[in-house]
A = this chain, B = another copy of it.
Amino acid sequence: MLVDGVAAERISALDRGLAYGDGLFESIRLVGTAAPLWTRHMQRLLEGCSRLRIPSPDPALLWREALQVSRDMPQSVVRFTITRGAGERGYALPVSPRPTRVVAAFVPPPVTAAAYAQGVRLRVCNIRLAEQPLLAGIKHLNRLEQVLARAEWDDPAIVEGVLLDTCERVISATMANLFAVVDGELLTPALDRCGVAGVARAEVLAVCPQARTGELTLAMLRGASEVFLSSSVRGIVPVHSLGDCSYAPGATTRQLQQHWCNLGFSMEQGG
């Protein structure tokens, strides 16, 4: 692990990332020394820095550090955490911010071949995401809603939870975005009020020009012919059930899994 470019395991206890969650992160899947979605990760990170007014890190430096921490790992997830750094006490922005940069590599979370082939089981979470347009879309460090959502169940057969907003619109899963084929149309929720705009979601939208972002209700989701999750870490994961609704992975899901293979991700792919 690197903290500000130096091998270290600890950060200042006065860092605003700890004090206020005042920062951003990215979790990037690497295959050896390749990161197929790198450019999209950097786009989102720099947009987040701009919106939070945190000085942007240099992507070339991040890339060198990503390679350094993941050296000798055939598969890895590199997490960047960028905070506003240590500062004076209080919420006011430091006059001369010195952001903190943490770069760490992890073994990717296991996803079974069965999950890619047949799909995973979802539940609907009880928590409703609060609507904050100023923070929507970016991957900031204020993630208590996701922690509370994930704490709602401990049945290992349930892989993910569907998150709704306070107006009962479907937004995403707790750690992935969500797509549904509704009446033949590929749809994913708009994320201008809450949620994280995943880079895998952006990739799907880029390669499926027929896909649309908009409002997705639970009834629409239940009536969908295909549902899948997108994640930069896990790739394209079909959904086989949501409560008592069942789905079969369809042509769109399979095409996108193939696209993920073509990008260079060597995940197990079903179908």
Report the interface size for chain A: residues with CB under 8 A from the other chain: 56
- A52 sits at the interface (CB 8 A): yes
List residues of A (62-96) whose CB comes within 8 Å of B's CBs.
Answer: 77, 79, 81, 83-84, 89-93
Residue in chain B with minimal CB distance to A102? B13
Q: A residues engaging B (CB < 8 A)?
A: 1, 3, 8-22, 25, 52-53, 77, 79, 81, 83-84, 89-93, 102, 104, 106, 109, 127, 130-132, 134-135, 140-151, 166, 174-175, 194
Whether the Cβ atoms of A143 and B13 lie closer than 8 Å is: no
Q: How many copies of the polypeptide does the oligomer hold? A: 2
Task: Name the B residues within 8 Å of A134 (CB-CB).
Answer: 127, 145, 148
In whole angstroms, what is the CA distance A145 to B175 when docked? Answer: 22
Task: Name the B residues within 8 Å of A130 (CB-CB).
Answer: 130-132, 194
Task: Name the B residues within 8 Å of A145 (CB-CB).
Answer: 132, 134-135
- Beyond A19-B81, A21-B20, A166-B131, whether A13 also contacts B13 by CB under 8 A is no
- Shortest Cβ gap from A1 to chain B (Å): 6
In whole angstroms, what is the CA distance A21 to B15 when docked? Answer: 12
- Beyond A10-B11, A127-B134, whether A92 also contacts B151 by CB under 8 A is yes
- Beyond A143-B22, A175-B91, whether A104 also contacts B13 by CB under 8 A is yes
Looking at the complex, which one of B3, B14, B93, B127 makes contact with A151 (CB distance below 8 Å)? B93
In whole angstroms, what is the CA distance A21 to B166 when docked? Answer: 22
In whole angstroms, what is the CA distance A144 to B130 when docked? Answer: 13
In whole angstroms, what is the CA distance A141 to B17 when docked? Answer: 9
Task: Name the B residues within 8 Å of A92 (CB-CB).
Answer: 150-151
In whole angstroms, what is the CA distance A89 to B25 when docked? Answer: 13
Whether the Cβ atoms of A142 and B93 lie closer than 8 Å is: no
The 7 A-B pairs with the shortest beta carbon distances in the complex, nearest first, are A21-B21, A130-B130, A142-B142, A20-B143, A10-B10, A91-B150, A130-B132
Whether the Cβ atoms of B91 and A20 lie closer than 8 Å is: no
